[in-house]
């Protein structure tokens, strides 16, 4: 009877807020309207203020000549290139630091998190000092300090000169570490190198299917295949055979001293090395704690049961504990990857030209287009953050337990 009266009640405007059936939707609509109104008010206010200063919103400055040099770049660039090209160089430099930094931070962080749970008192305490030391000091200080160490403790290029040089190159005279950066051999792709890349990709595809087949075979029979050695053969042997059959299409350009500096090879500037290493070790301290908490979230009964079956501690960790801990580890790792990427904007402190230094620095100062430059910067970091979150969440779904 009460439900009939309730369903037949005449609708009143006040029910949008007083009735629980409509309240949630009404509040969401009101909030959305307020947000849209504030947004358009800000846009209108900005356009009017720019008009009073004789400015308009335009991105045509991206096609203008940049007129400045960029010391570290992955693509061709000169001071005659456009501001759009300069921004692209900065974007690639930012992505390079983010990619390399995330890889190093993940590897180091996993080892630190595992070793902090070691039964060896000294190792566990050393890892605790590592974590507390790095994560409680601002990352900017680590960037500046590591850059200063690389600059002051490494020899100048002139130290490699003479019959009895003060410094010598490493790894069979192929790597030079100086106060101007590190010089590495640079691969030169000749005719036919494309087929080597194709062969390498096909080998990787075969290895992926091999690992999946071995995993399924092990689940059925309890015995798998020696995937490591088979994968090594599949990856190396076809590559070497094709490499010599094509007449060695890949050669190397080695750095050599000419005048007062090294020529040729890959030049990794100290600004890039300091920024990447500082961000990596700083973030690895947080990742280490995430890994440790993920491992502790797994019941000790898992370890005890595996030990009762005769598994070694390293096999217990790699086959039983870590795979289950990934469900706990992966979600907070997203925040650390995002923090590392956004912290790369501190590159200007050591002179590394990332997108903050190009588009948000010199380009902004030369063109006076501060609003447009900041909008592009915000859009770039937002896009990268959403991309990283989407990729990590995709992998995170594969680690979750599927309910029946």
Res 326 pLDDT > 60:
yes
Residue 319 lies in a domain: yes
| Residue 180 sits in the same domain as residue 283 | yes
Same domain for 98 and 167, yes or no, is yes
- Residue 203 within any structural domain of the chain: no
CATH of the domain at 297: 1.10.3720.10
Residue 178 lies in a domain: yes
Q: Do 137 and 280 reside in the same domain of the chain?
A: yes
Q: Are 34 and 168 within one domain?
A: no
Average pLDDT of 249-278?
88
Rounded to the nearest integer, the mean pLDDT of the chain is 86
Give dist(CA 271, CA 354) in Å, integer: 11
CB burial of residue 340 (10 Å; 0-12, 13-18, 19+): buried
Q: Are residues 108 and 31 in the same domain?
A: no
On whether both 96 and 178 belong to a single domain, the answer is yes
Last residue of a domain, one of 30, 52, 74: 52
**192 compared with 294, residue with greater pLDDT:** 294
**Same domain for 37 and 134?**
no
Q: Is residue 196 part of a domain?
A: no
Question: For residue 395, what are the contacts with CB-CB under 8 A and spacing of at least 6?
Answer: 330
Structure-derived torsion over alpha carbons of residues 220, 328, 135, 358, reported in degrees to the nearest 10: 90
The residue out of 12, 37, 52 marking a domain boundary is: 52
Q: Are 327 and 400 in contact (CB under 8 A)?
A: yes
One domain for residues 139 and 273: yes
Phi-psi region of 319 (alpha: psi -120 to 50; beta: other; left: phi over 0): alpha
Mark whether 316 and 360 lie in a shared domain.
yes
In a 3-state reduction of DSSP, which class is residue 370? helix
Q: Which domain holds residue 366?
A: 83-185+254-399
> What pLDDT is attached to residue 302?
85
pLDDT bucket at 401, cuts 50 / 70 / 90: low
Is residue 149 domain-resident?
Answer: yes
State the total domains in the chain: 2
Gyration radius (Cα) of the chain, Å: 28
Q: Are 77 and 338 in contact (CB under 8 A)?
A: no
How far are the Cα atoms of 230, 254, 312, 397 from residue 325, in angstroms, in the given order? Answer: 28, 44, 18, 14
Out of 142-151, 158-167, 321-330, 384-393, which region has the weakest mean confidence (pLDDT)?
A: 158-167
Question: Does residue 93 carry a pLDDT above 80?
Answer: yes
244 against 8, higher pLDDT: 244
pLDDT tens sequence across 221-247: 777 778 888 888 888 898 888 888 888
Q: Is residue 218 part of a domain?
A: no
Whether residue 88 lies inside any domain: the answer is yes
Do the domain assignments include residue 404?
Answer: no
pLDDT in tens, 170-184: 888 888 888 888 999
Judgement on whether residues 337 and 286 belong to the same structural domain of the protein: yes
Give the pLDDT confidence of 295-317 residue by residue, as tens digits. Answer: 998 888 888 888 888 888 888 88
Domain identity same for 37 and 95? no
Shared-domain flag, residues 362 and 263: yes
* Stronger pLDDT, 398 or 188, i.e. the higher one: 188
């Amino acid at each position: 009877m009460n439900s009939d009266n309730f369903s037949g009640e005449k609708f009143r405007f006040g029910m949008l807020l007083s009735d629980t059936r409509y309240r949630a939707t009404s509040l969401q609509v009101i909030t959305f309207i307020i947000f849209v109104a504030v947004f358009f008010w800000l846009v209108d206010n900005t356009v009017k203020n720019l008009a009073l200063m004789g400015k308009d919103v335009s991105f045509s400055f991206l096609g203008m000549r940049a007129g400045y040099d960029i010391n570290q770049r992955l693509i061709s660039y000169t001071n005659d290139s456009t501001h759009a090209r300069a921004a692209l160089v900065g974007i690639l430099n930012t992505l390079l630091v983010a990619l390399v930094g995330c890889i190093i931070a993940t590897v180091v962080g996993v080892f630190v998190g595992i070793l902090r749970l070691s039964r060896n008192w000294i190792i566990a305490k050393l890892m605790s000092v590592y974590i507390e030391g790095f994560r409680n000091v601002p990352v900017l200080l680590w960037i500046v300090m590591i850059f200063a160490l690389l600059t002051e403790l490494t020899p100048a290029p002139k130290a490699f000169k003479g019959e009895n040089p003060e410094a010598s190159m490493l790894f069979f005279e192929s790597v030079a570490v100086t106060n101007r950066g590190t010089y590495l051999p640079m691969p030169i792709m000749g005719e036919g190198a494309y087929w080597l890349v194709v062969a390498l990709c096909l080998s990787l595809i075969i290895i992926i299917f091999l690992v999946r087949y071995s995993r399924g075979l092990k689940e059925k029979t309890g015995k798998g295949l020696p995937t490591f050695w088979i994968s090594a053969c599949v990856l190396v042997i076809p590559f070497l055979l094709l490499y010599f059959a094509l007449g060695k299409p890949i050669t190397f350009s080695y750095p050599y001293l000419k005048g007062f500096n090294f020529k040729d090879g890959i030049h990794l500037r100290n600004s890039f090395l300091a920024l990447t290493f500082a961000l990596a070790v700083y973030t690895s301290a947080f990742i280490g704690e995430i890994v440790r908490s993920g491992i502790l979230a797994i019941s000790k009964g898992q370890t005890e049961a595996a030990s009762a079956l005769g598994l070694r501690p390293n096999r217990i960790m790699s086959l039983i504990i870590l795979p289950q801990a990934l469900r706990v580890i992966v979600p907070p790792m997203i925040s650390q990857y995002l923090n590392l990427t956004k912290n790369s904007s501190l590159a200007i402190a050591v002179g590394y030209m990332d997108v903050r230094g190009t588009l948000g620095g010199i380009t902004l100062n030369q063109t006076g287009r501060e609003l447009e430059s900041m909008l592009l910067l915000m859009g770039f970091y937002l896009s990268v953050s959403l991309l990283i979150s989407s990729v990590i969440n995709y992998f995170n779904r594969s680690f979750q337990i599927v309910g029946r």
